[in-house]
């Protein structure tokens, strides 16, 4: 088992597997798995937020471009601009 790496990958251990880790690696092994698992959750949330920020930025750009295009069309249509 990889401890931190195993936990960070999102691999959830069943009760027997946790006991096996405890038997083989002791408390430190279980602690490292749990730390990795929690860090993996945090990393996934950060990545998800970054993805949402990128989508939000793209949408804001598209809305701005649509409004600009619409304004230019109106100015041409009504002769002001």
pLDDT bin (cut points 50, 70, 90) of residue 59 is: confident
Nearest to 24 by CA among 57, 50, 2: 2
pTM of the model: 0.51
Q: What is the 3-state secondary structure (H, E, C) of the chain?
A: CCCHHHHHCCCCCCHHHHHHHHHHHHHHHHHHHHHHHHHHHHHHHHHHHHHHHHHHHHHHHHHHHHHHHHHHHHHHHHCCC
Instruction: Examine the pLDDT at 79 and tell me if it is beyond 80.
Output: no
Percent of the chain's residues with pLDDT above 70: 85
pLDDT bin (cut points 50, 70, 90) of residue 80 is: low
Range of the domain at 64: 4-78
Average pLDDT over residues 33-39: 87
Domain total of the chain: 1
């Amino acid at each position: 088992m990889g401890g931190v790496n195993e936990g960070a990958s999102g691999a959830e251990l069943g009760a027997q597997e946790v006991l096996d880790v405890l038997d083989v690696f002791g408390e430190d092994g279980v602690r490292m798995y749990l730390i990795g698992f929690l860090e993996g959750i945090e990393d996934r949330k950060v990545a998800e937020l970054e993805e949402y920020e990128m989508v939000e930025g793209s949408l804001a750009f598209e809305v701005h471009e649509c409004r600009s295009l619409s304004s230019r069309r109106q100015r041409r249509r009504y002769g002001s601009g």
